[in-house]
Amino acid sequence: MNRRFLINSISVFTSVVITLLITIILLIFIGKNPLEVLALMIGDTLFSGYGFGQMLFKATSLMIVATGLAICFQAAIFNIGAEGNLYFGTFISNVIAVSFRNLSPLILIPYSIIAGMVASMLVALIPPFIKVKKGVSEVITTIMLNFVLIYIVNYFVLNFFAVKATVRMEKVDDSLMFMKLFNLWDFLKGSSVNILFFLGIFIALLAYFFLFKTKLGYEIRAVGLNETASKYMGINVNLIIYLVFLISGALSSIAGLNFVMGYKGYFEIGFSSNIGFTAIAVSLLAKNNPLGIIFSSLLFGFLDYGGLAINSLVPKEVMFVVQGIVILSIIAVDKIVNRIFVT
Amino acid sequence: MNILESIISLAFLSQVIRLYTPYYLGASASNFTERSGVINIAIEGFMTFSAFSYVLFSIKSGSPVIGVFVTILLSLFLALLYALFTVALKVNHIVTGIGFNLFIAGLTKFFLVYFFQSSSNSPQAPSIPSISFLKFVPIIGPLISDPVILFSFILLPLSQFILYKTRFGLRLRTAGENPEAGDSLGIKIRAYKLYGVLISGVLSSLAGMWLASSQNSFSDGMVAGRGFIAIAAMIIGRWKPLNIFYACLMFATLESLEITLQIAGSGIPSQLVQILPYFITILVLLGFVGKTKPPAADGVPY
């Protein structure tokens, strides 16, 4: 184990402990017994098949989006556009899936998934284009593009695709739905976790290998560490910038399918509920390391479902606060730990 | 109803000004902090926080004035926390902004349920009291007697003056343009960055409180992207108070036009009008509509 890994572990561990402490203080402050709340949360999530499955389900989308974002962040590209990409790509997938019902599922499943990915990748090209051509930071363009994409999709859904008097689209054919994992393991009965979870783990592992064991991955990290030096080393920096946006665009689109083809069966306005932003926190907590993202997304999945589990004691929204504290404490603690250990 | 008639009416004009108010306050908030070199993309969060805090404290204390003062104090504290991250710890500004947005969104959702037992909206809250003697001014009286609207108009010459005519403004801009040079002249760069963040805290707090006060309640997601439109207006306005004023006025007019056309039943889809601020910003960034240049050391920790 190298020194860097040790330092990162210290800061992640410290910030999780700080978050736990603040949460306990918050619970005491609002007059609840923290032990009772935590026991219920852990019991209903980690020791219940359904709760465990739901935790994995919630972790799936976050894991996939965060992996794409981690690749961007490794290149020092602050892509905040995952939310819009996810929304747009998933919408296109759903459109294809309901428009070509007579195709065999064997063709239609890959067709709709790839169509969504391509659509998402195409719009993901806009921010790097503006960055490369005009030198404008991707932060502003991705924020603006999120709104543009979400409003455009809402316009098309409401005016052309929505089932009457609802804000959702038609359900895709049952044959297109991803296999639920409770078909394999009975104890997960009723939960929505599906094969996309394993795909998520696979993507994270692949991304780790890509980032840390291949030449291209090395170039991505080099650009992130020092863009000018990379340029003089002969790395095509612009190409790297386009590439990381394409990867995160494609992955964001897949993540949205967890809802459409893994759970509800249809695109619904507002379904993404900030996954694209929460995934930023998931990636940062893992120090932008795809292996770490597997664990940090599980932690966020645990918080997401854990909130529902404790709703009878404390409003479930308390877990949004906890997620906020996690992200703020990791970014602060990380700076402090680095100041102490790296000199 | 005649569409043209409703557009040139006084009601239309006052609607424009009411839409303009939170935009200009938010955009000025963003401008002051970026002029000092600190990017704050959590304006949206700051506005949400203040809208909630105003509603909570004015309902619980029964006095909107107490609500305003407590909220300004709390948002100064929040801004101080933001400065602790970005200025003292030198955490990346974008990451900090995202973190604050997520944290505040969670915090307000939770306290909304905790204090008001509703996940969607608060009970009715009082409005910020208006300045009674200004009510009798003919025509514009109802508008300028609202202290926040009045302030949002005074803010234009005020920020022109502060940024370009005072020593404070010069030093603030130095912190954003060339902190090394300022430092070598003995200017306390970090202090000026802190001032920039604190000013942005107070201004965005006014924007949030005004939204809550004019809607007489807090509802989840009520800021609805206004904090980001404000940032867009600042970019289109090229970090200059007067241009930002025009940009905000343009966005407000477009939005008001959309509402008026909607009521008149013109059939123009509202989503396509809602896109415009963001879309125009992208076009501006692409260089179709003039050139934009942020402060030279914007977002660089010092």
**Across A241-252, average pLDDT:** 97
In whole angstroms, what is the distance from residue B83 CA to residue B72 CA? 16
Q: Do A144 and B282 touch (CB under 8 A)?
A: yes
B102 touches chain A (CB under 8 A): yes
Q: Which of A259, A253, A91 is nearest to A169 (CA)?
A: A91
The pLDDT value recorded for residue B133 is: 78
The pLDDT assigned to B291 comes to: 61
Cβ of B113 and A274 within 8 Å?
no
Q: Note whether B164 contacts A: Cβ–Cβ < 8 A.
A: no
Burial class (CB in 10 A: 0-12, 13-18, 19+), B154: exposed
In this predicted structure, the answer to whether residue B277 has a pLDDT above a threshold of 90 is no
Q: Is B286 on the interface with A (CB under 8 A)?
A: yes
Tokens of A45: 């999530």
Whether the CB-CB separation of A125 and A118 falls below 8 Å is answered with no
| Residue B258 scores a pLDDT above 90 | no
Which value, to the nearest 10 degrees, does the dihedral of the CA atoms of residues A109, A111, A113, A116 take?
-150
pLDDT of B116 strictly over 90: yes
pLDDT of residue B293: 75
Residue B254 pLDDT exceeds 90: no
pLDDT of residue B282: 86
Q: For residue B300, give both structure tokens.
A: 């660089």
Nearest to B85 among A274, A278, A331 (CB): A331
As a residue count, chain B comes to 302
Distance between CA atoms of residues B282 and A6, nearest Å: 42
Interatomic CA distance for residues A259 and A251, integer angstroms: 14
Lowest mean pLDDT among A136-140, A246-250, B2-6: B2-6
Test B285 with A278 for CB contact under 8 angstroms.
no
Q: Got the DSSP string for A269-294?
A: TTTTTTHHHHHHHHHHHTTT-HHHHH
Mean pLDDT calculated for residue range B100-127: 92
CA distance A210 to B202: 46
B44 in Cβ contact with B99 (< 8 Å): no
A281: contact with B, CB 8 A cutoff: yes
What is the rounded CA–CA span in Å between residue A285 and residue A255? 19
pLDDT at B245: 96
Of the listed ranges A5-19, A219-233, B277-291, the one predicted with least confidence: B277-291
Q: Which amino acid is at A244?
A: V
Strand extents, DSSP E, A147-227: none
Cβ contacts of B67 within 8 Å, gap of 6 or more: B53, B54, B55, B56, B57, B58, B59, B61, B125, B126, B209
* A144/B228 CB distance under 8 A: yes
Domain ranges in chain A?
1-32+315-343, 52-313
B223 touches chain A (CB under 8 A): no
Q: Which CATH architecture has domain A52-313?
A: Orthogonal Bundle (1.10)
* Token code pair at residue A327: 């992200």
User: What angle separates helix B147-165 from helix B189-215, to the nearest 10 degrees?
Assistant: 160
Q: How confident is the model at residue B242, as a pLDDT?
A: 95
pLDDT at B135 over 80: no
Please name the residue of chain B whose CA is at the shortest distance from the CA of residue A142: B282
* Partner residue facing A155 (CB), from B41, B100, B272: B272
Q: Which residue has the higher pLDDT, A174 or A252?
A: A252
Chain A nearest-CA distance from B146, in A, is 31
Q: What is the band of B5 on the pLDDT scale with cuts at 50, 70, 90?
A: low
Q: What is the pLDDT of residues A3-56, one digit of tens each?
A: 888 888 888 899 999 999 999 999 998 888 999 999 999 998 888 889 999 999
Give the integer Cα–Cα distance in Å for A26 and A183.
40
B59-67: average pLDDT: 94
Domain-wise residue ranges, chain B: 18-121+143-286
Report the 3 state secondary structure along B90-126: CCCHHHHHHHHHHHHHHHHHHHHHHHHCCCCECCCCC
Alpha helices by DSSP H, listed for B62-188, are 64-83, 93-116, 141-144, 147-165, 167-177, 179-184
Q: What pLDDT was estimated at residue A184?
A: 87
Closest CA to A107 of A96, A119, A118: A96
DSSP state of A177: S
What are the distances in angstroms from CA B201 to CA A96, A172, B18, B65, B72? 46, 47, 21, 18, 8
A147: pLDDT strictly greater than 80: yes
Q: How confident is the model at residue B2 (pLDDT cuts 50, 70, 90)?
A: low
pLDDT at A140: 87
Kindly determine whether residue B95 and residue A134, on different chains, have CB atoms separated by under 8 Å: no
CA distance B104 to A282: 17
Could you report the per-residue pLDDT of A186-223, keeping only the tens digit for each? 888 888 899 999 999 999 999 999 999 999 999 999 99
- Name residues 173-192 of chain A within 8 A of B (Cβ): none
Structure tokens, A261: 């083809």
pLDDT category at A328 given cuts 50, 70, 90 is very high
Give the pLDDT confidence of A275-319 residue by residue, as tens digits: 999 999 999 989 999 999 999 999 999 999 999 899 888 988 899
Fold held by B18-121+143-286: ABC transporter involved in vitamin B12 uptake, BtuC (1.10.3470)
Query: Structure pTM?
Result: 0.92
Tell whether the model's pLDDT for residue B4 goes beyond 70.
no
What values do phi and psi take at B157, rounded to 5? -65, -35
SS3 A194: strand
Percent of chain B with pLDDT over 70: 94
- Distance from the Cα of A214 to chain B's closest Cα (Å) equals 28
pLDDT of residue A133: 87
pLDDT in tens, B48-57: 999 999 999 9
Residue A286's pLDDT is 92
The pLDDT-based confidence of A154 (bands split at 50, 70, 90) is very high
